[in-house]
Amino acid sequence: MALSAPPSQEQPSGKKFGYHLAAAVRSINWTYGIFWSISASPRPGHSSVLTWKDGFYNGEIKTRKITGSTTPEFTPDERVMHRSKQLRQLYESLLPGNSDQRARRCAASLSPEDLGDGEWYYTISMTYKFHLNQGLPGKSFASNQYVWLCNAQNASTRTFPRALLAKTIVCIPFMGGVLELGTLDQEADGGSDRRATIRPSCASVPQSPGAGALSIMRICA
């Protein structure tokens, strides 16, 4: 059985979705948010995979660096958004054979040594891919259930291969993909009310069919 997005759903894209993702993460004061999107396998006959589509980092910043001496001072909101972009550009600059000039400029201003543990965790997450029933995003997508993992730092690598710093992870089937949110704090599952709170809300963003009927899969490591 291959991973596939329901034909009636559109994958989110563009800055507008990024702003709503950031608003959702900041509204609950969690450390990060990631949207995992369906990507076709390059090999015929193989199932599709969930890959990084967009993300927002809301955690501690170890070293603040801004490219260019003429760059205007950021507001607190702009600074947080800018850091997420810097981390993405740094990741792209480290990819083999990357010739993107903007990514190289970012690498010159922000190096791996400038990152704190939370920033490293977020950046490394960009390298992951998940097949059907693999990892929390794959299990959430396959079962159409939202998955709440507590004590994530103690989870087996089979359950959560990125187990390192995050203590609470929630994955929610959303718009033909999976929305993952994580925090360095221990958070109890708040049920449907909490799920409604952390969904990005926008009149122009369609909700998943049957979203109100999503059941819960709790995992406590």
Query: What is the structure's pLDDT at 57?
Result: 93
Query: What is the structure's pLDDT at 170?
Result: 93
* pLDDT over 60 (residue 87): yes
Q: What is the pTM of this model?
A: 0.73
Query: What is the structure's pLDDT at 104?
Result: 56
210 band by pLDDT with thresholds 50, 70 and 90:
very low
Which range has the worst mean pLDDT, 109-118, 120-129, 167-176? 109-118
* pLDDT over 70 (residue 42): no
Domain ranges across the chain: 14-60+116-220
More confident residue, 221 or 92: 92
Query: Nearest Cα to 151, choosing from 177, 128, 183?
Result: 183
Query: What is the structure's pLDDT at 29?
Result: 92
* Cβ contacts of 143 within 8 Å, gap of 6 or more: 217
220: Cα separation from own chain's centroid: 21
**CATH domain 14-60+116-220 topology:** Beta-Lactamase (3.30.450)
Q: What are the distances in angstroms from CA 114 to CA 89, 93, 120, 165, 184?
A: 14, 15, 10, 18, 20
* pLDDT over 70 (residue 196): no
In angstroms, the CA 24 to CA 30 distance is: 9
Query: What is the structure's pLDDT at 216?
Result: 43
Query: What is the structure's pLDDT at 158?
Result: 66
Query: CB–CB of 83/61 below 8 Å?
Result: yes
In angstroms, the CA 1 to CA 18 distance is: 30
Which range has the worst mean pLDDT, 28-37, 87-96, 115-124, 157-166? 157-166
Which tens digits make up the pLDDT trace of 132-147?
888 889 999 999 999 9
Q: Report, as an integer, the average pLDDT of 53-68.
A: 78
Q: Report, as an integer, the average pLDDT of 148-161.
A: 71
Query: What is the structure's pLDDT at 195?
Result: 46
In angstroms, the CA 130 to CA 36 distance is: 9
Q: Report, as an integer, the average pLDDT of 89-99.
A: 77
Mean pLDDT, rounded, of the chain:
73
